[in-house]
């Protein structure tokens, strides 16, 4: 969905490096999410934010941190990347109106060597 963009789309880094993945949306949604996707494990929620001042841990937040810089921007950081953080990362947004339909970005493929 072009309304949700992620940068970079691909990244290869080394163990111990700090990495930031960025997400921007033009949908005007209050809610934003970060997921990782691994083969055979589906999508797992890392962090979510219901508004600029709200940050919540998801299922697998250890080793990650986030920053909600503005309504439209939500970044995910790996302070010290490790190989098992190699995965496909997705950002999503939603505008809760009874049902929380989420709109996903194109994904960032991260490889930690």
Partner 1 sequence: GESVGLHLPTLSVQEGDNSIINCAYSNSASDYFIWYKQESGKGPQFIIDIRSNMDKRQGQRVTVLLNKTVKHLSLQIAATQPGDSAVYFCAEISNSGGSNYKLTFGKGTLLTVNP
The contact set with partner 1 (CB under 8 A) reads 1, 4, 40-45, 48, 50, 54, 56-59, 90, 92, 96, 98-107
Q: Which is nearer to partner 1, 18 or 92 (CB)?
A: 92
Give the nearest distance from C-beta 11 to partner 1 in angstroms.
16
Give the nearest distance from C-beta 101 to partner 1 in angstroms.
5
Residue 30 burial (10 A CB sphere; 0-12, 13-18, 19+): middle
Taking alpha carbons only, the member of 23, 36, 12, 37 closest to residue 94 is 23
Q: CA 71 to CA 52: how far, in whole Å?
A: 6
Q: CA 112 to CA 35: how far, in whole Å?
A: 17
Q: Which is nearer to partner 1, 47 or 75 (CB)?
A: 47
Give the nearest distance from C-beta 75 to partner 1 in angstroms.
17
Q: Which is nearer to partner 1, 18 or 57 (CB)?
A: 57
Q: CA 42 to CA 101: how far, in whole Å?
A: 18
* In the block, residue with structure tokens 């490889």: 111
Give the nearest distance from C-beta 95 to partner 1 in angstroms.
12
């Amino acid at each position: 969905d072009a309304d949700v963009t992620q940068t970079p789309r691909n990244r290869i880094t080394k163990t111990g490096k700090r990495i930031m993945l960025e997400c921007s949306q033009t949908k005007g949604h209050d809610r934003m999410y970060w997921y990782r996707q691994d083969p055979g494990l589906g999508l797992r929620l890392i962090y979510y934010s219901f508004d600029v001042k709200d940050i919540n841990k998801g299922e697998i937040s250890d080793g990650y941190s986030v920053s909600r810089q503005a309504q439209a921007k939500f970044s995910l950081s790996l302070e010290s990347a490790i190989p098992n953080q190699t995965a496909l990362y997705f950002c999503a947004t939603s505008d809760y109106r009874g049902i929380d339909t989420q709109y996903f970005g194109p994904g960032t493929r991260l490889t930690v060597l």
